[in-house]
Amino acid sequence: MSLLLRNALLLDPAAGDYTEGDLRCEDGRIVETGSGLHAAGDTRVVDVAGAPVVPGLIDAHVHVTALSADLAALGSLSPSYVTAHSARIMGQMLDRGFTTVRDASGADHGLADAQAEGLIRGPRVLFCGKGLSQTGGHGDLRGRGVNQRDDHPCCAGVGRVADGVEAVRVAARDELRKGAHHIKVMASGGVASPTDRIDSTQYSMDELRAVVEEARAANRYVAAHAYTARAVNRALEAGVRTIEHGNLLDDSSVELFLRHDAFLVPTLVTYWALKEEGMAFGLPEPSWRKVDEVLDAGLRALERAARGGVRLAYGSDLLGGMHRHQNQEFRLRREVQQPIDVLRAATTNAAELAGLAGEIGTLAVGARADLLVLDGDPLEDIGVLAEPRRIRHVVQGGEVVTG
Ligand code: ZN
Ligand code: ZN
């Protein structure tokens, strides 16, 4: 099966410019670019008439199992019911141009395999299983009055509780055993958790270091949920590779990002969406009140990190009915960044973060044939990517999957 796009403007995100030409895909890979390429007998030819073609987008922070903003409820739903919703959520992400996503807790090897085998239409899923949380941390979703814990491994949920160096090692090893692409730890309080504070730090340094050591032993890395500079800096010092959110980081954090060659994954759109619509989609009111602590700070943190030269990846972190705003992150970031830099966050930078540089997030020969044909130039106006209807075709693994 071969696909040939004719007369395209092919974007190289690293260089930040276009080349006019054709692009040919075969067996899921980009095999040739240039002008006047030859189409063999069974090749599907699409003349895109000068349209910009960009690599398929990568969202480095999603929760494909989050069918509601009431994350505590997930564990009491039937796993098959959650899977049905995940399939719907993933299909809609693909329609929005996302051909790969990094799940930041909740998705498991079953969803990733089902997508890879073509049973579920959606982005390729880089999963971590359940995020590690201390008792009373961001992944412990019990209310104050609940003492029992039901952590049945087959039930859906975004967190698993583990306390102490030995227990976090076992939890990390267990997620790695199940094929985790990365390990997620909750290193500060959060919005959706009922009993913690946004400004709390979570896990001792010894626990964080133990998780990092386990991930590194398996040639994997750790992603940490963290808001304040205090929490972000502890995680970076422990060797965490990606900081999720980071809304309240400061200049000392920027320095640590550079020193440790770490990535920041801001998720601005989710705070905006939670404030506007969170309660309508299941976010409990006490959690909704916490949104204000991080909402306005997010854009300033992004600006500070970008100015300081921190590597940034695209994240959305949306829940429930708010998933439909996934592309609005492009629009929010343009307030403080150039279009090419926002695009890099969702292509080359995210690929590098995932350890898949050259494989995804690029139109280079040899890469997976994931790409988008657009009806406008995102380098002129990144808002083109904020409107899924302006994506004419999504191509994934060399096949036109939408439009
Ligand atoms: Zn988080
Ligand atoms: Zn998240």
The predicted-structure confidence for 267-295, as pLDDT tens digits, reads as follows 999 999 999 999 999 999 999 998 988 98
Q: Nearest ligand to the C-alpha of residue 158? A: 2
- Beta pairing class for 183-186 and 222-228: parallel
Q: Nearest ligand to the C-alpha of residue 198? A: 1
Helices 109-116/79-95 angle, 10° precision: 50
φ, ψ of residue 325 in degrees (nearest 5): -90, 10
Q: How close is the Cα of 371 to the center of ligand 1, in Å?
A: 28
Report every protein residue that has its C-beta within 5 angstroms of ion ligand 2. Answer: 104, 317
- The DSSP secondary structure of 99-152, one letter per residue, reads EEEEESSS--HHHHHHHHTTSS-S-EEE---SEEE-TTSTT----TT-------
The predicted-structure confidence for 345-363, as pLDDT tens digits, reads as follows 999 999 999 999 999 999 9
Helices 297-307/251-260 angle, 10° precision: 50
Report every protein residue that has its C-beta within 5 angstroms of ion ligand 1. Answer: 225
Provide the residue ranges of all domains of the chain, joining segments of one domain with +. Answer: 2-55+362-402, 57-326
Q: How close is the Cα of 166 to the center of ligand 1, in Å?
A: 24
> Residue for token digits 């980009």?
30
For residue 98, pLDDT beyond 80: yes
Cα dihedral sign, 21-22-28-31: negative
- Could you tell me which CATH number the domain at 2-55+362-402 has? 2.30.40.10
Q: Is 298 helix (H, G, I), strand (E, B) or coil?
A: helix
Task: Give 123 or 194, the one with higher predicted confidence.
Answer: 123
Q: How close is the Cα of 141 to the center of ligand 2, in Å?
A: 14
Residue whose C-alpha is closest to residue 291's, from 69, 137, 61 = 69
Which CATH architecture group holds 57-326? Alpha-Beta Barrel (3.20)
The predicted-structure confidence for 229-281, as pLDDT tens digits, reads as follows 999 999 999 999 999 999 999 999 999 999 999 999 999 999 999 999 999 99
The predicted-structure confidence for 365-403, as pLDDT tens digits, reads as follows 999 999 999 999 999 999 999 999 999 999 999 999 986
Q: Is 35 helix (H, G, I), strand (E, B) or coil?
A: coil
